[in-house]
Amino acid sequence: MASLLLQNIAKSYGTVEVLKDIDLDIEQGELIVFVGPSGCGKSTLLRMIAGLEKITGGDLYIDGERMNDTPPSKRGIAMVFQSYALYPHMTVYDNMAFALKVAKMPKAEIDQRVRNAGKILQLTDYLDRLPKALSGGQRQRVAIGRSIVRDPKVYLFDEPLSNLDAALRVDTRIEIAQLKENMPESTMIYVTHDQVEAMTLATRIVVLNNKTHTIAQFGTPLDLYQRPENTFVAQFIGSPKMNLLPGTISAAQDTTTTIDVTAGGVATVPVSAAGLPSGTEVQLGVRPEDFVVAQPGDAVIFEGQASYTEKLGEVTVVYFTPRDGEDSVIAKIPGIADVSKGTQLSLTASPDKLHLFDASGHSFFYK
Ligand SMILES: Nc1ncnc2c1ncn2[C@@H]1O[C@H](COP(=O)(O)OP(=O)(O)OP(=O)(O)O)[C@@H](O)[C@H]1O
């Protein structure tokens, strides 16, 4: 059970910079998720914490002790990989007991630890089975069990669900959430590609930016969704991604800022752009799910003709013809909307759902 502190951690392979300026203060009992585009360095950061990858700059502390040069086996961490590689000829019990036997732990203690892990992971009825007689999700749980019996300070998970099919992923995700609830003191770090996994499992999420090689934001799932610090996070968290509508400031009041949207339309955002002159270029952020069809009298933020629609039953996703050099604007309208290709729609959104970014992509909320 441990806290982790990463100070100014950097990683490069020769002259190729992969990560820099990584500062993280992780409290005991947290489940931290690393997300980011492919190649942003999620696994590399996890492997540096594990000691499987050399740290090229900065300091790593586990429970206050500097660990940069400590071998993996002495760091008190356990890592669960996506390929769980169980010993096929050993029972579930023996798979979990194996490392403890090698470490010459007394038999009674091994038995107590294995049965306890079996209970936590709901594997009690399967302890005598061979891996081939288990489902993929159950096998992954045995792999997690091998970590639990070692009672590590920190659990590291590298995409543990990515080998499972979609339905099993959902079940196993819920099991991991329950596992964490059963082990509230344990500190866990989890790498995933899957946003839903990140949003549902994490106490806090680290979003890594593959262009700057730095942390784009470190915060709670809802913080990242409701108050993204920059357009990178705004468009990475949420699906379909947040619309960014170019515009200019028409009035910067004390607590609100009014924007003329370049495509037509106007929006008043409850953030201050104090001191910025009219005409300053900004980007208005609206999530597809926050757009609503405007009623007479509403301030219209965006107006356009549907170029494509997807009727998914619970929502209708409407794509609008993109303007030159811009992405298609997307709106998610609840239910089965009476919209098809060519339908003209006027959209608005509640002011408290709007986001405002400067031309370089920083949110005004944090200014
Ligand atoms: N041994 C190596 N030598 C040179 N570059 C490497 C090496 N290992 C990784 N990299 C580079 O470091 C970057 C980060 O890789 P990493 O696997 O950590 O990314 P990731 O975010 O986990 O990606 P993915 O989501 O695709 O698994 C990538 O650009 C990769 O090409």
Domain ranges of the chain: 4-236, 243-366
The finding on whether 195 has its CB within 6 A of some atom of ligand 1 is no
Distance of CA 45 to the CA centre of its chain: 15
Per-residue pLDDT at 212:
96
Average pLDDT over residues 54-76: 95
d(CA 216, CA 22): 10
What's the gap in Å between 231 CA and the centre of ligand 1? Answer: 23
Percent share of the chain, pLDDT over 90: 77
Task: State whether CATH 3.30.420.40 applies to domain 243-366.
Answer: no
CA of 152 to the centre of ligand 1 (A): 26
Atom from ligand 1 closest to the CA of residue 159: 27
Q: Is the pLDDT of residue 366 over 70?
A: yes
- Assess whether the C-beta atom of 13 lies below 6 angstroms from ligand 1: yes
| pLDDT tens per residue, range 258-287 | 999 998 899 999 999 888 899 999 999 999
Can you give the pTM of this predicted structure?
0.91
Is residue 39 within 6 Å of ligand 1 at its C-beta? yes
Whether residue 28 is predicted with pLDDT greater than 90 in this model: the reply is yes
Q: Give the whole-angstrom CA distance, residue 357 versus residue 353.
A: 13
Query: Which of 64, 69, 84, 80 lies closest to 189, judged by CA?
Result: 80
Question: Which atom of ligand 1 is nearest the CA belonging to 191?
Answer: 22
- Give domain 4-236's CATH superfamily: P-loop containing nucleotide triphosphate hydrolases (3.40.50.300)
Is residue 1 very low, low, confident or very high in pLDDT (cuts 50, 70, 90)?
low
* Helix or strand holding residue 164 (H, E): none
The conformation of residue 323, written as its DSSP 8-state character, comes to P
pLDDT digits 0-9 by tens, 156-178: 999 888 877 887 788 888 888 88
Rg (CA), the chain: 25
**3 state DSSP class of 100:** helix
**Average pLDDT score over residue span 251-263:** 92
Q: What ipTM does the predicted assembly reach?
A: 0.96
Residue 280: strand, helix, or coil: coil
> 44 C-alpha to center of ligand 1: Å?
6
Minimum mean pLDDT range among 25-39, 145-159, 205-219: 145-159
**CB distance 43 to ligand 1 below 6 Å:** yes
Residue bearing the CA closest to ligand 1, atom 12: 18
Q: Please give the number of the atom of ligand 1 that sits closest to the Cα of 40.
A: 21
Partners of 331 in the beta sheet? 318
Residue 214's pLDDT band (boundaries 50, 70, 90)? very high
CB of residue 344 inside a 6 A radius of ligand 1: no
Within 10 Å of residue 237's Cβ, how many Cβ atoms? Answer: 24
pLDDT at 50: 95
